[in-house]
Amino acid sequence: MYDFDTLLNRRGTDCYKWDGLAKEYGDPELMPFWVADMDFKCLPELDQALRERTVGATYGYTFPGEDYFKSITSWYERRHGAAVSADEIVNAPGVLTGIHFALAALGKPGDSIIINTPVYPPFYKFEENGRYRVLQSPLIEKNGRYFLDFVDLDEKMRSGARFYALCSPHNPSGRIWSRQELLELVALCRKHGVILLSDEIHGDLAMPGKTHHPLLSLSEEARKISIIASAPSKTFNCAGLKSSFLIIADEEMRQKVSRKIKSYHIDIDLFGLLATKVVFEKGDAWLDELMRYLEANAKRMVEFVDARLPGVKASMPDASYLLWLDCRGRDLSQEELVRRIKTKGRLALNDGTMFGPGGATAICASTTALRDYTWRKALRGWNELWEPRQPREPDASTKSRTATVESFSRNHIPGYPRLYTRRCFP
């Protein structure tokens, strides 16, 4: 029903993902799989609403009306089964901006904030200017899947931590924390008087069959100590419109945060307000179809990695369109791995070290590629990463493995075998 296959030319539009390649990677011709930004056409109703708003109009001061707040509360009820009231919503121009304002309103210089590692790089910047002290709690990795270390968290909370910044779902692994894990986390934070700041910007991007649990939907205890930060930007690819919000059930915390934001005279502009309202009112069917598309892309990439990239491991994410690739089996330094990806693969991916401890010898890639042109370039780039070895007579195991690769390639790679003649395995 919706078009996710038309190749959009975003060059020359100051698009960070494409036009930012020269600055960030020193090469504007790389294929970008680095920014959490989709190249698909946006929701048609959003495009239409923005166009209509610009016809014969003025652009004066605008406030969020009742329909704006209703679009958010109805969305949470439909998509997550979560009860949110309009008076619990506090607008902010960005998720991280909102979290920083919450810290400024509820904390004081020198307060400690716990983060998990590896994690979304801006989380490490909470300690910029020396205002807060970041305590890193490494996640436990088991077979490519991450888990919270409750023993370590308990120790760090006992040390006097004031806040805990949770990435839910987890970025970069795409892990959805289970309801039981979150309830245990809430109990621990409640025990130690820790405020939970939950970045849930990827929460609407749960894969088919997976369920994201907004913190405020868990229990009354969770509502008392939690702040959700979210936005439609990742879900509907409208980050450039700068519209986000906090959901704060506790009235005392909400009033403090709201006053802090208002003291800086920060508002969302009329296009951001309109975009949020439209996508949350009319975006259900588009999002359902998008997630089926992204699920197929992720499965395809995981299968490709398993079949064609020995020594690299990838697991299906529970949510989002990021893929966390474990390259430890290649026995390459991170510097050499990044070099090969850029110079041989001609790809722009995120260096795993950006995500802190636990990110060494890992790579983060976006799976939002269109299935024809960009997939061909991406898969060809991956195929070129490893330097060829001297040919030798294949043994029985290699012949069997090659047959598997051949079967996968014919079924999944457009243009094969014409475009892909070199075997990955010697």
**pLDDT digits over 395-410, tens only?**
565 555 555 545 555 5
365 confidence band (pLDDT: 50, 70, 90)? confident
* CA atoms within a 13 Å half-sphere pointing along the CA-CB vector of 83: 4
Q: What is the reported pLDDT for 177?
A: 98
pTM: 0.88
Mean pLDDT confidence for 121-140: 91
- Residue 31 parent element (H or E): strand 31-32
CB under 8 A, 24+ apart: contacts of 271-274 = 271/50, 271/53, 271/241, 272/93, 272/241, 272/242, 272/243, 273/62, 273/64, 273/68, 273/243, 274/49, 274/50, 274/53
User: By percentage, how much of the chain surpasses pLDDT 90?
Assistant: 71
Q: What is the reported pLDDT for 412?
A: 52
CB under 8 A, 24+ apart: contacts of 186-190 = 186/215, 186/218, 186/219, 186/221, 186/222, 186/225, 186/226, 187/221, 188/150, 188/153, 188/154, 188/157, 189/157, 189/164, 189/225, 190/221, 190/224, 190/225
Tens-place pLDDT, residues 218-269: 999 999 999 999 999 999 999 999 999 999 999 999 999 999 999 999 999 9
d(CA 412, CA 211) in angstroms, rounded, equals 28
Nearest of 180, 186, 160, 169 to residue 116 by alpha carbon: 169
- With beta carbons less than 8 A apart as the criterion, state whether 320 and 205 touch: yes
Q: What is the reported pLDDT for 371?
A: 62
d(CA 254, CA 88) in angstroms, rounded, equals 7
Residue 122: is the preceding peptide bond cis (ω within 30°)? no
What's the residue count for the chain?
A: 426
- Matching CATH topology for 16-41+285-412 and 46-283? no
Residues 6+ apart with CB under 8 A from 324: 144, 172, 173, 174, 314, 315, 317, 352, 362, 363, 364
Q: What is the reported pLDDT for 400?
A: 58
Q: Residue written as tokens 């902010």? A: 92
Biggest alpha carbon–alpha carbon distance for the chain: 74
Q: What is the reported pLDDT for 391?
A: 41
Tens-place pLDDT, residues 384-395: 766 544 444 555
372 confidence band (pLDDT: 50, 70, 90)? low
Q: What is the reported pLDDT for 386?
A: 62
Q: What is the reported pLDDT for 339?
A: 92
Is the pLDDT at 69 greater than 80, yes or no? yes
Average pLDDT value over all residues in the chain: 88
First to last CA, the chain: 43
d(CA 380, CA 375) in angstroms, rounded, equals 8
Mean pLDDT confidence for 10-36: 93
Q: What is the reported pLDDT for 362?
A: 81
423 confidence band (pLDDT: 50, 70, 90)? very low
For residue 165, what are the β-bridge partners? 197
Q: What is the reported pLDDT for 416?
A: 45
Handedness of CA 201, 202, 208, 209 (dihedral sign): negative
Q: What is the reported pLDDT for 389?
A: 40
Mean pLDDT confidence for 29-54: 93
Q: Looking at per-residue confidence, does 304 or 152 come out higher?
A: 152
For residue 246, what are the β-bridge partners? 90, 229
Indicate the domain borders of the chain: 16-41+285-412, 46-283
Q: What is the reported pLDDT for 418?
A: 40
CATH number of 46-283: 3.40.640.10
310 confidence band (pLDDT: 50, 70, 90)? confident
- Burial track 164-184 (b if 16+ CB lie within 10 A, e otherwise): bbbbbbbbbbbbbbeeebbbe
- Residue 47 parent element (H or E): helix 44-53
Q: Is 230 exposed, middle or buried (0-12, 13-18, 19+ CB in 10 A)?
A: buried
d(CA 167, CA 114) in angstroms, rounded, equals 11
CATH number of 16-41+285-412: 3.90.1150.10
Q: What is the reported pLDDT for 402?
A: 53
User: By percentage, how much of the chain surpasses pLDDT 70?
Assistant: 86
Q: What is the reported pLDDT for 345?
A: 87
Q: What is the reported pLDDT for 277?
A: 98
Residue 169: is the preceding peptide bond cis (ω within 30°)? yes
Q: Residue written as tokens 């991007």? A: 205
For the chain, give me the number of helices (H) and strands (E)?
15, 15
Mean pLDDT confidence for 274-281: 98
377 confidence band (pLDDT: 50, 70, 90)? low
Tens-place pLDDT, residues 167-200: 999 999 999 999 999 999 999 999 999 999 999 9
